[in-house]
Structure 1
Amino acid sequence: MKLKANLTLRQVGNEHIIVEPNQGMVDLSKVFTLNETAAFLWKELDGQDFEKDAVVQLLMDNYDVDEDQAQQDAIALLDHFRGQGLLVD
């Protein structure tokens, strides 16, 4: 799977948002807010093909979580991204 290519992660103050630029303009009807962990994962995975296991490994390497929790969190995040149309399978 891959993150949708035409999306851009921006930081506005303390918020991390994903926007879809359209002909040089930002479509504010399609803005997605990410928490800091999801924004970190977005930055790490942007532009590359990956599997769930890569997300799990990033979580375990960078946060104090065991493998079971990382698996659950990766599944939840990827399901959310997929549901919002942010992933290309």
Structure 2
Amino acid sequence: MRIKQGFKLRTVGKEYIVAGEGLAQIDFNKLISLNRSAAYLWQEVEGKDFDEQTLADLLVSKYDIPAGQALADAADIATNWIEAGIAER
């Protein structure tokens, strides 16, 4: 999967926001708020191909959590990004 082109992570105060930029995102009329962990993942995979395992490996290395928990969390994040229209398979 990949983050869709034209979406950028911004920091507004202490919040992490994904917003659409450019004509391709002209009908994207919402902002997506990410928590610190999701923003970390976004920064690590932006511009790259990735899958749930990639996200899980990043979570394990950063937060030292069990692999099973990381994979479940990564699958949730990937699903949320796809449903929000900011990532695609």
Structure 1 length as normaliser, TM-score?
A: 0.89
SS class of match (1:9): strand
Return the structure number with greater helix share: 2
CA contact (8 A) 1:52 1:74 kept: yes
Count of paired positions: 87
Identity of aligned residues (%): 33
Task: Between 35-44 and 14-23, report the one with greater CA deviation.
Answer: 14-23
What residue in structure 2 maps to residue 7 of structure 1? 7
Distance 2:35 2:6 in 1: 20
* Paired residue type of 1:48: K
Q: What do the CA deviations read for 1:3-62 (whole angstroms, capped 9, x no partner)?
A: 111101000000000001135xx9883210000000000000000011211101000000
Which 4+ runs in 1 deviate beyond 6 A?
A: none
Provide structure 2 residue ranges, at least 5 long, that are not aligned to the other structure.
none
Provide structure 1 residue ranges, at least 5 long, that are not aligned to the other structure.
none
Instruction: Say what the alpha-carbon RMSD is for the aligned residues.
Output: 1.7
Return the structure number with greater strand share: 1
CA contact (8 A) 1:10 1:16 kept: yes
